[in-house]
Structure 1
Amino acid sequence: MRRIRAAVTGAVTLSLVLTAAACGGGTSGGSGSNSQPKTLTYWASNQGSSIEVDKKVLQPELDQFERETGIKVKLEVVPWSDLLNRILTATTSGQGPDVLNIGNTWSASLQSTGALLPWDDAAFAKIGGKDRFVDSALGSTGAPGQDPAAVPLYSMAYALYYNKKMFKDAGVEKPPATWDELAATGKLLSKDGKWAIGVEGSNLSNNIHQVFVLGKQRGADFFTADGKADFTSDGAVAAVKQYVDLMAAHKIVAPGNAEYAQNQSLSDFAKDKTAMVLWQTPSQTFASQGMSEEEWGVAPAPVPSGAPGQGTSVNSMVAGINMAVFKNTKNLDGATKFVKFMTSDEEQKTLNKAYGSVPPVKTAQADPAFDTPSLKVIRDTLATSASALPQVPEESQFETVVGTAVKELFADAAAGRPVTTESVKAALDKAQQQMPKK
């Protein structure tokens, strides 16, 4: 998923107003091959620095699809803060778009609603086959043992980005490879109104992404093998405390970051106020802040040993965007053609270049444009040291309740209230009580 883009905020306030004309289920036309509607509705996630940027990226491609097929695509770019709630409401009401983007971490949750088209071998065959996609991307398309609920569209992973000027001014020669190094380096960088690293404490999904990785580094998954919530294990508690302690104990994060939501840490990074950020797709998002590629560097996200890999050396979740089709679309043939178009080699190159992400399609990845230093780190991370978030039906609730717990703990840290192992465990226990009982 992106920023987060990774950032899926998603407080559970289900609200959606859709007219019949805006719904996949409300378009006119029969189900016969000659009476398929000549329009599709498409909810795209906000991948660019603004919704307007997304429209400029996507509309020419949608126009090309219409020229090739005669099918017009009605585009709506949905902000991450609204996307999950919009989708959940659509799955309940049966009134949604024909095609939509979903954060890949939600795949199993949305799959469990039964509202999305399953991508069995026959469906994949219509878009060129499942083997076109890289394994790490396919691993975040739904629950294990079930047909995927979506098709990979954009792939991303976290890396550590650093402001070269701030490092030089502080006499720091290289980016930290371990968390201990980051804390020590952070002391050198956090002075004179400047801070070592930015967080987005009010960005629920970003919170989840970071504490999930820290949990993996401590052998904790936040869910048991049989899918039960396990938020209060020693590893999970320590992971959350470690993340919040960047502000609470090490004091290398500005207290104001407790209130930051999607993308708000970027401005500080570009304006030489914050020296490092954990991010996914830098080229487009940093450029939107007026930052040239010469001004920032990249390194793998830290791990305790300094050597990223599998197991306790995981340093990113498998981030990305999937493309799904609502099962009740009245234009299944057109929706399938649209997914095939968007996952074609040419479109994969065009779109992922525009967004600074990596194509999940193997043949598109071979383009030299995806061999830049930053994208090489992301590709290596996805191949060797990233782990998919739990593919369980309750994953979206996990993002909401634990993401909110972390947000509240950051608020405590910003206000100078103590953040202790006990207070972290209490916050996570409260979150676990809000999960569905199994």
Structure 2
Amino acid sequence: MKFASSARLAAVMTAAAVALTACGGGGSDSGGAVDGKGKKLSVLVGVNAHYSAQQKEWFSDIGAKFKAQTGADIEFETFASANDELTRIQTSVVSGQGPDVYSLGTTFTPTAYATQAFVTLSDDDWKKVGGKDRFNPAALGISGPDAEHQAGIPFVSRPFVMAYNKELLAAAGIEKPATTWDELAQQAKKLTNPATGTYGLATGYKDNFDPWKFIWAMSVQAGNPLVDGKTLKLDDPSVKKAYETYFGWLTKDKVVDPSAVGWSNSNAVAAFAAGKSGYLMMTTSSSVPTLEKSAVAGKYAYATMPTTAPGEAAPKGDGDKAASILSGDNVVVADYSKQKDLAFAYIKLITSKEEQLNYQKIFGDLPANAEALKSLTDPKLKPVVDAAGKSKATPFTGAWGDIQLALLNVTVQSVPDLSNGSVDESGLLNRIEDAQTKGQASLDRAAKS
């Protein structure tokens, strides 16, 4: 699709520079049944590396139900990385053709909204997916810049928490999980025993998505929002302190398995599931299906992650509300789609109470459907639900995707140093300065657009 204004094109090109997060599918129904006989809806979804076989089965099951309801077929397309997703979004937005439906990680929603390439939902659109009151209000927190201008329809909620091995903590004389990052490091040292291959913390330094979230959390908890109006604050001392703390678990405290320098999140989950870690960091309820079939079944619990920044005695500002980013997946409909009714019908199906509970049972993610969420009774999930209430949205700016990528790239560029056992301070400062420069440039472009 060719955009009518240069401002819109500028917004698209800003978004094209962004590395995206998870993707998925959506659709709806328009009051009555939608006749889609002979038609095909295209849905872009991120590959679920943890549950690939189950995802294929879910595709088949939802496709059959959608066919029965509308007569239309669904073609699920997948992407395997942020760069893959970036290419698909860029190509589709600029050309005006591609998937009808995208599932976006919440942190990408502001960038997607800024492109003006996805449907800004009207009251009628919300009715087509069952009404706005179908959804947990907290899940709507990053659907758009305000309640009247929203593009993202909540699909699942994925607040980040930490899991802990109750037996390992008890054996180390630890009565309750840490509530500050300093306390967490102290506990992790007590839990670490390299002779047995047991470490205090499990996390993946080479994960494509998680590292920046630690830096965001520690910085916000220290009173630095990272984006202050039109000013980026990655050069604030709190950001350097956050990286030093995060890297220090591996290089100084030595409470992380040295192999973690090459781990993704799935490797960290596997280590915890094998009973080789006291804590599993930056995880979600999506780890439940794996852990319930592992050596730690019945021996683990979840807790909110610390909300007091490193070196601090208490959270600053609204840091106590930053236990997690406001996380999950939002479903958006491409503005160029000629099958919007089918798209909304699909979204209505997958956000129904029944399908949300089915998805939660298979993949572990919390429902965005309010009734489905309220019906969950598993006590293990209470800390996860609590974390959802203590989640803070990342800044709603079209530049956030670039800023997020810049934060992640500091870790990516530090991996060689981490492999050698230390991160040079001057090198770290140079990487942060580069991230600040690139992120501020993106923020400036977003402001002009």
For the aligned pair, the TM-score class normalised by the smaller chain equals 0.7 to 0.9
Q: Secondary structure at the match of 2:228?
A: coil
Q: CA 1:13 to 1:365, structure 2 compared with 1: closer, same or farther past 3 Å?
A: closer
Paired residue for 1:348? 356
Are residue 265 (structure 1) and residue 268 (structure 2) matched? yes
Q: CA 1:85 to 1:366, structure 2 compared with 1: closer, same or farther past 3 Å?
A: same
Question: Following the alignment from structure 2 to structure 1, what is the Cα–Cα distance between the partners of residues 146 and 247?
Answer: 32
Paired residue for 1:29? none
Higher mean displacement: 48-57 or 395-404: 48-57
Tell me how far 1:131 sits from its aligned partner.
Answer: 2.6
Paired residue for 1:4? none
Q: Deviations over 1:350-381 (max 9, x none)?
A: 212322121122122121xx232332111111
Q: Secondary structure at the match of 1:142?
A: coil
Paired residue for 1:90? 92
Q: TM-score, normalised by structure 1?
A: 0.84
Contact 1:218 1:235 in 2 (8 A): yes
Question: Following the alignment from structure 1 to structure 2, what is the Cα–Cα distance between the partners of residues 351 and 93?
Answer: 33
- Aligned equivalent of 1:430, options 430, 434, 445: 434
Q: Secondary structure at the match of 2:413?
A: helix
Runs of 4+ in 1 over 6 A off after TM superposition: 10-14, 33-36, 305-310
Question: Following the alignment from structure 2 to structure 1, what is the Cα–Cα distance between the partners of residues 186 and 16?
Answer: 35
Are residue 52 (structure 1) and residue 59 (structure 2) matched? no
- Aligned equivalent of 1:371, options 361, 377, 384: 377
Q: Deviations over 1:251-304 (max 9, x none)?
A: 21223212222422112112222221121122124346x345313222221222
Unaligned 5+ runs, structure 1: 1-9, 15-23, 25-32
Question: Following the alignment from structure 1 to structure 2, what is the Cα–Cα distance between the partners of residues 306 and 65?
Answer: 53
Percentage of matched positions with identical amino acids = 24
Contact 1:137 1:152 in 2 (8 A): yes
Question: Following the alignment from structure 2 to structure 1, what is the Cα–Cα distance between the partners of residues 153 and 316?
Answer: 26
Question: Following the alignment from structure 2 to structure 1, what is the Cα–Cα distance between the partners of residues 288 and 182?
Answer: 28
Question: Following the alignment from structure 1 to structure 2, what is the Cα–Cα distance between the partners of residues 308 and 79?
Answer: 36
Paired residue for 1:403? 408
Contact 2:106 2:329 in 1 (8 A): yes
Question: Following the alignment from structure 1 to structure 2, what is the Cα–Cα distance between the partners of residues 262 and 79?
Answer: 14
Aligned pairs, number: 406
Question: Following the alignment from structure 2 to structure 1, what is the Cα–Cα distance between the partners of residues 92 and 201?
Answer: 38
Q: Secondary structure at the match of 2:144?
A: coil
Pairing of 1:275-314 with structure 2 (within 5 A):
275-278=278-281, 279-281=283-285, 282-287=287-292, 290-291=294-295, 293-304=297-308, 311-313=318-320, 314=322
Contact 1:46 1:77 in 2 (8 A): yes
Pairing of 1:196-275 with structure 2 (within 5 A):
196-226=200-230, 228-275=231-278
Paired residue for 2:74? 73
Q: Deviations over 1:374-411 (max 9, x none)?
A: 3211111112x110112210121122221010233354
Paired AA for residue 79 in structure 1: A
Question: Following the alignment from structure 1 to structure 2, what is the Cα–Cα distance between the partners of residues 386 and 200?
Answer: 22
Q: Deviations over 1:116-167 (max 9, x none)?
A: 1111222112222223222321112233476212200000111110123433
Paired AA for residue 409 in structure 1: S
Question: Following the alignment from structure 2 to structure 1, what is the Cα–Cα distance between the partners of residues 348 and 317?
Answer: 32
Paired AA for residue 379 in structure 2: P
Are residue 127 (structure 1) and residue 129 (structure 2) matched? yes
Paired AA for residue 53 in structure 2: E
Unaligned 5+ runs, structure 2: 1-14, 20-25, 27-33, 445-449
Tell me how far 1:334 sits from its aligned partner.
Answer: 0.8
Q: Secondary structure at the match of 1:100?
A: strand
Are residue 335 (structure 1) and residue 338 (structure 2) matched? no
Are residue 412 (structure 1) and residue 417 (structure 2) matched? yes
Tell me how far 1:40 sits from its aligned partner.
Answer: 0.4
Paired AA for residue 127 in structure 2: A
Paired residue for 1:28? none
Q: Secondary structure at the match of 2:162?
A: strand
Paired residue for 2:182? 180
Contact 1:43 1:78 in 2 (8 A): yes
Contact 1:259 1:411 in 2 (8 A): no
Tell me how far 1:239 sits from its aligned partner.
Answer: 2.2
Paired residue for 1:18? none
Q: CA 1:262 to 1:338, structure 2 compared with 1: closer, same or farther past 3 Å?
A: same
Tell me how far 1:434 sits from its aligned partner.
Answer: 2.2
Tell me how far 1:322 sits from its aligned partner.
Answer: 0.9
Question: Following the alignment from structure 1 to structure 2, what is the Cα–Cα distance between the partners of residues 49 and 309?
Answer: 36
Question: Following the alignment from structure 2 to structure 1, what is the Cα–Cα distance between the partners of residues 159 and 36?
Answer: 42
Paired residue for 1:136? 138
Paired residue for 1:21? none
Tell me how far 1:80 sits from its aligned partner.
Answer: 4.2
Are residue 390 (structure 1) and residue 373 (structure 2) matched? no
CA RMSD of aligned residues (A): 2.8
Q: Secondary structure at the match of 1:324?
A: strand
Paired AA for residue 39 in structure 1: K
Q: Secondary structure at the match of 1:283?
A: helix
Paired AA for residue 116 in structure 2: G
